[in-house]
Amino acid sequence: MFSLAADLIHVFSSVPRHLNFIDHTSDIGWKEYVLSELSKNLAALVLVSPIYCCRSQRVQPVIVDAGIYLAGRNQFFQSTEKRATPDGFKFFTGSPWVILNRRFIEYCIFGWENLPRTLLMYFTNVMLPLEGYFHSVACNSDFRNFTVNNDLRYVAWDDPPQMEPRFLNITHYEEIVESGVPFARKFREKEYLLDKIDEKILQRWRHRPVPGAWCTGRKRWFSDPCSQWSNVNIVRPGPQAEKFRRYMDRILEESKSSNSSCAQ
């Protein structure tokens, strides 16, 4: 996270609470699954490496216990039996990183119609359910008009895109700062870029918490200003708040001025 919690509170306090932020697309004409020559010669239940499964193989394959794959990011069990492409709803996919409002979450949990449960049963056997469940629920329901097509994250992709985005490094620093987005991914462990973000953006000292307006101690090299505090409910936006606000204003304006991305 590249913005202080105060920055997020400051910006989201002026954002309509009925909105969901879900990066999504229905542009998956490549979704129809074609069995590879390898799969034709395997038994009814096969063990397949992710190298044989790309984003284009998401709708028809039946994945057995996708949670095992998600836990290890290693291999997944796939049945050779396929299911037809769904015609009762439109399939959407996108970023697994979402920001959802309370009413939408209640709809998914309590479901005053069958759609959330129907999709839940369907996505139980999809390899990456978090990249399609909320997206499909939102865009196949009345929430389609309250969904912003953005996940508020800075991500660098290869061209053409691969299964995973590129690792960010110090060369991305200026672009991240100027973008105004509050989140980014992904990073290698002990990446120097994270240290620079801590120092320059979050103003965080090594092995210490991110300072906020509640910190009342003096800032010295030998003392932690947050070792003393006052009202912990004080919110004071940091230097990135204005850039984040401009970014938020822009994507909300684009969302209002364009047709619903769920209809595309």
Tokens linked to 121: 């049963």
Which amino acid, 167? F
Residue 221's pLDDT is what?
A: 67
For residues 252 and 235, what is the distance between their CA atoms, to the nearest angstrom? Answer: 24
For residues 10 and 170, what is the distance between their CA atoms, to the nearest angstrom? Answer: 28
Q: For residue 255, what are the contacts with CB-CB under 8 A and spacing of at least 6?
A: 148, 149, 150
Query: E strands within 87-181?
Result: 93-94, 147-148, 153-154
Residue 72's pLDDT is what?
A: 62
Output the DSSP codes for 15-51: S-TT-EE--EE---GGGS----HHHHTS-SEEEE-GG
Q: Which helix (H) or strand (E) holds 77?
A: strand 76-79
Residue 67's pLDDT is what?
A: 66
At which residue do the structure tokens 């969901």 appear? 20
Per residue of the chain (264 residues), give pLDDT as tens.
Answer: 555 788 898 899 999 999 999 999 887 644 333 333 333 333 333 333 333 344 445 666 777 766 666 666 566 677 777 777 778 888 898 899 999 999 999 999 988 788 999 999 888 888 778 889 999 999 999 999 899 999 999 999 887 777 788 999 999 999 999 999 999 999 999 999 999 998 888 888 777 777 777 788 877 767 778 878 888 777 788 878 899 999 999 999 998 877 667 865
What residues are paired with 179 via a beta bridge? none
For residues 139 and 90, what is the distance between their CA atoms, to the nearest angstrom? Answer: 8
For residues 28 and 26, what is the distance between their CA atoms, to the nearest angstrom? Answer: 6
Residue 248's pLDDT is what?
A: 96
Residue 175's pLDDT is what?
A: 94
